[in-house]
Structure 1
Amino acid sequence: MNLEEKEISYTTTNSYATLNTLSDKTKNVWFVCHGMGYLSRYFLRYFEGLNKDENYIIAPQAQSKYYSTPKFKHVGASWLTKENTATETENVMRNFDAVLAAEALPENINLIVLGYSQGVSVATRFVARRKLSCAQLILHSGSIPKELKPEDFSFLKAKVTMIYGTEDEYLNDERIAYETNRAKELFKEHLHIIPFKGKHVVNVVLINKLV
């Protein structure tokens, strides 16, 4: 058997979701990357408590969708897997580029980038690869990609907040120590670490306090 895996390039279409209206009253634009198993329109529900006039939220959609329950009722999505990660990462980066190009944000906007769970990996890569100038970078209950180095963020002047639940079922003491040390290495004096008592859930109360 002469099996050969080949690669093609083609144009695809994807959705993204927004919450509230971008206007002269807008103070903050959030670029929020959902966790595995979410759809962007449902992930936006966690940001409904923010002031509607002052906050405009953009949620890109992971392109790989799947049925997340045995009865094929609910659909989830994933950003990346260990399969062909480098190419898939570049696809995600181009996805994000297209979303921001479509939104045509004002240059002086207060941009906040948030990644939750699996979304941390794509959010941090996007900021690092595109040298994205943002006011805040929020890393919520997720892992920072191993290939990222301090020099990848040397340009960044943003406030960086790391949030995690002390009862997160995907974390143990060793993992918490590793991830916090990685964040300190990458972001140094810009880093603020906020643990909370809770599991692997989006902490809406903390998010609302970050603006």
Structure 2
Amino acid sequence: MQKEVVYQSTNTYDTLNELTEETKTVWLVFHGIGYLSRYFIRLFQSLDNKENYIIAPQAPSKYYKNNDYKKVGSSWLTKENTQTETKNVLNYIDAVIEAENLPSTINFVVLGYSQGVSIASRWIASRNIQPDGFVMISGGFPKELAKEDFTFLTDKTKITHILGEKDPYFEIDKVNAEKVRVKEILPQIEFRTHPGGHELDISTLEKTF
């Protein structure tokens, strides 16, 4: 018999730059599988450090990536006990946002890369978040989410999906079919590409915002 227990847990997250009166945009960025937040956040170092403040939550499940047991990666979710684990992750994100106490007037962008797309999407949908921007990079949109889950969104939110033209994880037929599905759910979405592979291309991101 499988049982459940509720307990308090502690997790870290990383930030880049400082939140000041000069800050124009706050980025909440979710890394992909295999990353640690402190390494993922370095991808945003080229953004203006006065105008941009980046928050990178850390996926709670960590593992050794190679047989030498030196490099550590992490994962947000697996197919095991997904519903409960999703609730735990979303509660953790809520705690991060509460701890940061962000001003309501700030430009707020939510970004998910690879596996992080599923977390960002579910958090926005379940918490009725109205960000100024929502960026999905090289990741699939959760199958359980429907148009009804995003009725609270307005045209205020700029939604973009970015995919590498040489991304080995995406077949063109499946990509085109997914574009149709996601377009029905998020009508204002814009699809963009970059010439690379399964990666976060910061230059394409800078052109988007």
TM-score by length of 2: 0.97
The structural deviation recorded for 1:164 is: 0.4
How do 1:1-211 and structure 2 match up within 5 A? 4-157=1-154, 158-188=157-187, 190-211=188-209
Letter in 1 for 2:200: V
- Give RMSD over aligned pairs: 0.8
Are the equivalent residues in 2 in contact too, given 1:111–1:135 (CA < 8 A)?
Answer: yes
Partner Cα separation in structure 2 for residue 178 and residue 95 of structure 1 = 33
The structural deviation recorded for 1:196 is: 1.8
Q: Deviations over 1:60-87 (max 9, x none)?
A: 0000000011111110000000000000
Partner Cα separation in structure 2 for residue 206 and residue 69 of structure 1 = 31
Which 5+ residue runs of structure 2 have no aligned equivalent?
A: none
Identity %: 49
TM-score by length of 1: 0.96
Q: Secondary structure at the match of 1:23?
A: coil
Letter in 2 for 1:180: K
Q: Secondary structure at the match of 1:127?
A: helix
Aligned length: 207
Partner Cα separation in structure 2 for residue 117 and residue 185 of structure 1 = 21
Which 5+ residue runs of structure 1 have no aligned equivalent?
A: none
Letter in 1 for 2:119: V
Letter in 2 for 1:6: K
Letter in 1 for 2:11: N
Letter in 2 for 1:167: K
The structural deviation recorded for 1:182 is: 2.2
The structural deviation recorded for 1:210 is: 2.6
The structural deviation recorded for 1:174 is: 2.0
